[in-house]
Amino acid sequence: MVRYKRCVGYDGGGQKRKDDMHETIQVNTTTATKADAERIAVALVEQRLAACVQVSGPIHSCYRWQGEIEMAEEWLCSVKTTPEAYDQVEQAIRELHSYDEPEIMAVPIVAGSAGYLAWLREQVGEE
């Protein structure tokens, strides 16, 4: 059994606490250029759709596109946000993105430091 100690959302015995159901997610997308990634990052934080967007790269991706195997240098955006903001995050990424079909995937953050996750939730949404 996995044990989570001193983490938001878990009681230390691996059980989710009912009093802390505020979830957070990380949305990932990749871009062709660093400038595109930075433009998306700034827009999401300015619009309070994300608390933080980390831009990493370059990374190297291998994928099949239109029947061909492609290799590409890309930049990864890791967007820290809430499930409630996901639809708006996806829409903003699509509007700003240069790809026909950008990678936009969300994964739950199942544990983290209480202070950081509280800060994250405070930064997303209305002031």
* pLDDT tens profile 63-85: 999 999 999 999 999 999 999 99
pLDDT for 18? 40
24-123: what CATH class? alpha beta
Stated pTM of the model = 0.82
What is the mean pLDDT of the segment spanning 8-14? 51
What is the mean pLDDT of the segment spanning 24-36? 98
Distance, in Å, from the CA atom of 33 to the CA atom of 73, rounded to the nearest integer, reads: 8
Q: What percent of the chain has pLDDT over 70?
A: 82
What is the mean pLDDT of the segment spanning 24-43? 98
The domain spans of the chain are 24-123
User: Exposure string (b/e) for 14-51, b if CB count within 10 Å is 16 or more?
Assistant: eeeeeeeeeebbbbebbbeeeebbeebbebbbeeebbb
pLDDT for 9? 52
Q: How many CB atoms lie within 10 A of CB 120?
A: 22
pLDDT for 12? 52
